[in-house]
Structure 1
Amino acid sequence: MSPAPHTQLLVGGRIYSASAPDATSMAVTDGQIVWVGAERPGRALHPDAEIVDLHGAFVAPAFVDTHVHVTAHGLALTGLDLTGTASREETLQRLREHAAGCDDPVLWGHGWDPTRWADETAPTTADLDAAAPGRAVYLTRVDAHSAAASTALRAAADPADLPGYHPQQPLTAAAHHAVRGAARALLTPAQRARARAAALDDYAAHGIVAVHECGGPDISGRDDFTELLGTDHGVQVRGYWGEAVATAEQAGALLAVTGAHGLGGDLFVDGAFGSHTAWLTAPYTDRRDCCGTSYLTVEEITAHVRACTIAGVQAGFHVIGDAAAAAVTAAFAAVADDLGGPAVAARGHRLEHAETLTVAQAAQLGRWGVIASMQPVFDALWGGPDGMYVTRLGADRAAGLNNFAGIASTGMSLAFGSDSPVTAARPWSMLRAAVHHHTAGSGISPRAAFAAATRGAWRAGGVRDGLAGTLDPGAPASYAVWEAGELVISAPKDSVQRWSTDPRSRVAPLPDLEPGTDDPVLVRSVHRGRIVYDR
């Protein structure tokens, strides 16, 4: 005999549900939401339920982070986190202190950002050798597309003949991939396991119950990817492997050997603005000799999309510069002409970052079902008149970056993530950044931002049942309980969505995302009825 169903009735809260915007109660049976509404009828309908008193807490769909690097995030949490260092000297001092108390085979650090320093001087190989004599040191820039490496690590990688090499300055492109691979090989299984556990615990502790790992041969390596997908943790991991294929047979074989759920994520078309490796149609403003780096041709991108579409596999690409955006748009157009738009749309292919995507390109890609997986905190960190984007691209080009409103207006689906450890996995800060964009007209409403981090994020992961990411009857019981202040219904000041502020619209309210407001405090994270974090 199967066990009797178990029902919990959550009462005394504020439930974020489109089907019942005024709900104060929710019933969950064996990991599925079965009812949402007012408390009195809830008690009458479920007289034998276990009662969970919410004490006025706010209950909302749990978050999904659509772009993460789990082990790298964990290494920053458990090791040398250089985020926020104010100078090269502070960065080196942190390295000295870390080296003195750490005997790991490789000193792995992340997060230095010289565009936020007064002299903008990056750490050199000689600097690292002096701070940690004889040690293998790997320090990634905040965007993870370049890294400073010590002499000992360079000797293990032998990057001298590769593009992006410099004997003293941080390495980019293929030279960076080589030293990253050498550093990764020095990580012990215990280091990786400790890092993975710390990262997954951190996601759960911030209301995130599922993440999309963006792995690949130049990012995490097969061993780490396989170990991660085999990790037993309450936070669900969907794995993307960033390696290009040319045929449907190759796509199927690569999926089988890696255990990946899709062949995309950080499949690099180009690099990043901060490292001068995003692929541009015109030179960088601060480096007139440079248009960035292209890793795939239009023909290679086209072959990958075609192969994955035929094989029934979700594909995707890392796309940042405008030349990269033009290349992927041309590739999708070619495959849609060949196989038909509906065949392409059925796969839900993705573009990661998509920072320079234009409204016209989004309109095309949206017709073919392509999803934009974007990172709002990028604008918060690097946008604005004094930000890194303006330094790299000039004011006119910078103003067009991360145009969430423009992309969404075309019907192209949005999904949001952190790219942790590039930015911290803090969903409410991410939503605030999406709403309060540096460029007028590029921000979206809180409701649209929340949808991109919940319903849109599940859709980006191939779940198209219309229920995942909601608290409607029939949906999986994946939710987070928050201590939150007053709930509000709002829209961007420059938005045409003001109708949603009218109470008669029956729109469920959200926590206030105005600048300076406090983030809600997490009480509990639940995924499919299983508690994954409990304060």
Structure 2
Amino acid sequence: MAVRDGLVAWLGSDDVGRHQFPQAEVIDLEGSLVTPAFVDSHVHVTETGLCRTGLDLRPATSARHCLQLIADYAAAHPGEPIRGHGWDESGWSDGPALDTTALDAVVGDRPAYLSRADVHSALASTALRNLVPGLPAGIDAQAPLSGDEHHLVRAAAGTLLTAAQRAEARVAALDAAAAAGIVAVHECAGPDIGGADDWQELRALSQGGHGVEVIGYWGEPVRTATQAHALIEATGAHGLGGDLFVDGALGSHTALLHEPYADAPGCTGVCHLDTDAVTAHLWACTQAGVTAGFHVIGDAAVASVVAALERVVEKFGVAAVARCGHRLEHLEMVDAEQAAKLGSWGVIASMQPVFDALWGGEGGMYAQRLGAERAAGMNPFALLASQGVPLAFGSDSPVTSLDPWAAVRAASHHHTPGRAVSMRAAFAASTRGGWRAAGINDGITGTLVPGAPASYAVWENSMLAVEAPRDTVQRWSTDPRARVPALPVLEAGVSPRCLRTVHRGVVLHG
């Protein structure tokens, strides 16, 4: 491959290349694998960095273990507020025993904010709760907080972070992305996530030359085209969507369902935006020619958004809606009729395959929350693809790790038969799909063909498919016309090591 001025200038055999470009600098990759670089279609950069630089609770195997991790961190950082992420009681042997009393016992009078894995609920110490004057007096003083109360506590915890901590976290997150072969991320920002200051600071870092491209979405509803234009101008965001919450998450019992949770009878989740509000936002954004989008997980939430989209299609027509590239984030509970409509309207599904790897299966969190029958229908990648819904894959980091190969493997090894897509389709959704979701439809970005941006990753060659046992080989065409590289063997829990990441000809890592 020859690169000139940030573009792929030529591809072919080594001997021809050396003859055709005799004055070029030659970099011998010694048989390493070169692929198009990845795009992560849904991240939270600052939170990802805080998880890397602070308290990571994802390794916790029990409530007791989780509390020990908190106690160890508190001892190592005396006098500081505590911020942690990642506990998930659905896989613990000793059950959901985390409460405010248990937390206070290890942190004392220090403010502590510990978000659940899905970041839709959090455990907060009494000291932190006391910093939130708007927290309703009647809420459970012991249980993790969700919904509006969680947003209030999250905002209060954010004020305890210093500018230096936030800056360090952002750099750590983008460095980690580059080290994973990722050259662009879709930041899902908003007033209920990191807030305007956090987004503008991240935007300044990206524009200041970090290298990893940050494409921002601002999750705030509007009701008129004028408001949509004004908000895009004020934020500099690419679209008004991302985590614009219609509902919450299954793990926190806040995803909006038609029928109650299997493990919480009488609970059907939380509705943050009703169908009328969703319709108004879509109407305004479509009229303004702006990408809209929503965080939508539960089946009732999906039904609400599809109904709203139908109203907007009837008003403006399919072409006007499709031109905007509206997005649905997560879209975990969608049926065949809804998928067909979304495909016909050009709506993009921004999904996280590792959710199924973590929480799918007979004994997984989905089955606990929904029962086996409903859980089996989660994350239907093949259904959406078959109906022409464009797929873009991401991590929702820090909910799952910045590991795009894990997403490729998870999408092609779904827990439920018939729900998976091919390795080739999963890789495309993790590369070209992310660019398409951001409105880049030139047909070459995200591939390695002459004229394409030289955005690629180099991978250690020890895991190439040609070296793998026959039953694990995933053979792809190596014909350059296919725009698809050879595929590494993707074993569970093991991803290829990235040796170099390059974006538009500039080395970001390695």
Q: TM-score range by the shorter chain?
A: over 0.9
Q: How does 1:453-532 map to 2 (within 5 A)?
A: 453-484=430-461, 485-487=463-465, 508-516=484-492, 518-532=494-508
Tell which deviates more after alignment, 441-450 or 505-514. Answer: 505-514
Structure-2 residue corresponding to 1:219: 193
Does residue 198 (structure 1) correspond to residue 172 (structure 2)? The answer is yes
Q: What CA distance in whole angstroms lies between the structure 1 residues aligned with 2:370 and 2:396?
A: 22
Structure-1 residue corresponding to 2:356: 379
Which among 290, 298, 304 is matched to residue 327 of structure 1? Answer: 304
Which among 75, 88, 109 is matched to residue 134 of structure 1? Answer: 109
Deviations, residues 68-106 of structure 1 (Å, cap 9, x unaligned): 000101011000000020111111111111112225753
Does residue 173 (structure 1) correspond to residue 151 (structure 2)? The answer is no
Q: What CA distance in whole angstroms lies between the structure 1 residues aligned with 2:452 and 2:477?
A: 27
Does structure 2 retain, via aligned residues, the 8 Å contact 1:447–1:510?
A: no
Query: How many residue pairs were aligned?
Result: 501
Cα 1:505/1:394, change in 2 over 3 Å: farther
Q: What CA distance in whole angstroms lies between the structure 1 residues aligned with 2:79 and 2:293?
A: 35
Does structure 1 retain, via aligned residues, the 8 Å contact 2:360–2:375?
A: yes
Structure-2 residue corresponding to 1:10: none
Does structure 1 retain, via aligned residues, the 8 Å contact 2:476–2:487?
A: no
Aligned amino acid, residue 218 of structure 2: W
Cα 1:142/1:516, change in 2 over 3 Å: closer
Does structure 1 retain, via aligned residues, the 8 Å contact 2:291–2:324?
A: yes
DSSP-derived class of the 1:415 partner: strand
Deviations, residues 224-258 of structure 1 (Å, cap 9, x unaligned): 11000000311010111111100111111111222
Does residue 271 (structure 1) correspond to residue 251 (structure 2)? The answer is no
Tell which deviates more after alignment, 420-429 or 250-259. Answer: 250-259
Q: What CA distance in whole angstroms lies between the structure 1 residues aligned with 2:486 and 2:494?
A: 13
Q: What CA distance in whole angstroms lies between the structure 2 residues aligned with 1:214 and 1:162?
A: 31
DSSP-derived class of the 1:400 partner: coil
Structure-1 residue corresponding to 2:284: 307
Shift of 1:519: 2.3
Structure-2 residue corresponding to 1:87: 62
Q: Structure 1 stretches of 5 or more lacking a match?
A: 1-25
How much identity, in percent, do the aligned residues show? 56
Does residue 293 (structure 1) correspond to residue 275 (structure 2)? The answer is no
Q: What CA distance in whole angstroms lies between the structure 1 residues aligned with 2:445 and 2:487?
A: 21
Does structure 2 retain, via aligned residues, the 8 Å contact 1:157–1:182?
A: yes
Shift of 1:29: 0.3
Tell which deviates more after alignment, 312-321 or 122-131. Answer: 122-131
Shift of 1:284: 0.5
Structure-2 residue corresponding to 1:110: 85
Aligned amino acid, residue 64 of structure 1: V
Which among 144, 147, 160 is matched to residue 186 of structure 1? Answer: 160
Shift of 1:377: 0.4
Does structure 2 retain, via aligned residues, the 8 Å contact 1:138–1:153?
A: yes
Does structure 1 retain, via aligned residues, the 8 Å contact 2:34–2:485?
A: no
What TM-score do the two structures reach when normalised by structure 2? 0.95
Aligned amino acid, residue 126 of structure 1: T
Structure-2 residue corresponding to 1:423: 400
Does structure 1 retain, via aligned residues, the 8 Å contact 2:219–2:241?
A: yes
Structure-1 residue corresponding to 2:509: 533
Q: Structure 2 stretches of 5 or more lacking a match?
A: none
Structure-2 residue corresponding to 1:98: 73
Q: What CA distance in whole angstroms lies between the structure 2 residues aligned with 1:260 and 1:304?
A: 16
Q: What CA distance in whole angstroms lies between the structure 1 residues aligned with 2:269 and 2:421?
A: 30
Does residue 64 (structure 1) correspond to residue 39 (structure 2)? The answer is yes
Shift of 1:504: 9.3
Q: How does 1:333-372 map to 2 (within 5 A)?
A: 333-372=310-349
Q: What CA distance in whole angstroms lies between the structure 1 residues aligned with 2:492 and 2:505?
A: 33
Does structure 2 retain, via aligned residues, the 8 Å contact 1:351–1:373?
A: yes
Does structure 1 retain, via aligned residues, the 8 Å contact 2:6–2:453?
A: yes
Shift of 1:311: 1.2
Structure-1 residue corresponding to 2:123: 148
Q: What CA distance in whole angstroms lies between the structure 2 residues aligned with 1:397 and 1:513?
A: 31
Aligned amino acid, residue 501 of structure 2: S
Aligned-pair Cα RMSD in Å? 2.0
Shift of 1:43: 2.0
Tell which deviates more after alignment, 248-257 or 177-186. Answer: 248-257
Q: What CA distance in whole angstroms lies between the structure 2 residues aligned with 1:62 and 1:504?
A: 18
DSSP-derived class of the 1:230 partner: helix
Does residue 237 (structure 1) correspond to residue 214 (structure 2)? The answer is yes
Does structure 2 retain, via aligned residues, the 8 Å contact 1:160–1:166?
A: no
Structure-2 residue corresponding to 1:6: none
Which among 354, 373, 381 is matched to residue 404 of structure 1? Answer: 381
Q: What CA distance in whole angstroms lies between the structure 1 residues aligned with 2:48 and 2:445?
A: 26
Aligned amino acid, residue 109 of structure 2: G
Cα 1:518/1:292, change in 2 over 3 Å: closer
Q: What CA distance in whole angstroms lies between the structure 1 residues aligned with 2:313 and 2:247?
A: 23
Q: What CA distance in whole angstroms lies between the structure 1 residues aligned with 2:339 and 2:77?
A: 47
Q: What CA distance in whole angstroms lies between the structure 1 residues aligned with 2:247 and 2:20?
A: 56
Q: What CA distance in whole angstroms lies between the structure 2 residues aligned with 1:238 and 1:304?
A: 20
Does structure 2 retain, via aligned residues, the 8 Å contact 1:126–1:168?
A: yes
DSSP-derived class of the 1:138 partner: strand
What TM-score do the two structures reach when normalised by structure 1? 0.90
Cα 1:283/1:470, change in 2 over 3 Å: same
Shift of 1:122: 4.0
Aligned amino acid, residue 324 of structure 2: R
DSSP-derived class of the 1:187 partner: coil
Does structure 1 retain, via aligned residues, the 8 Å contact 2:239–2:290?
A: yes
Structure-1 residue corresponding to 2:419: 442
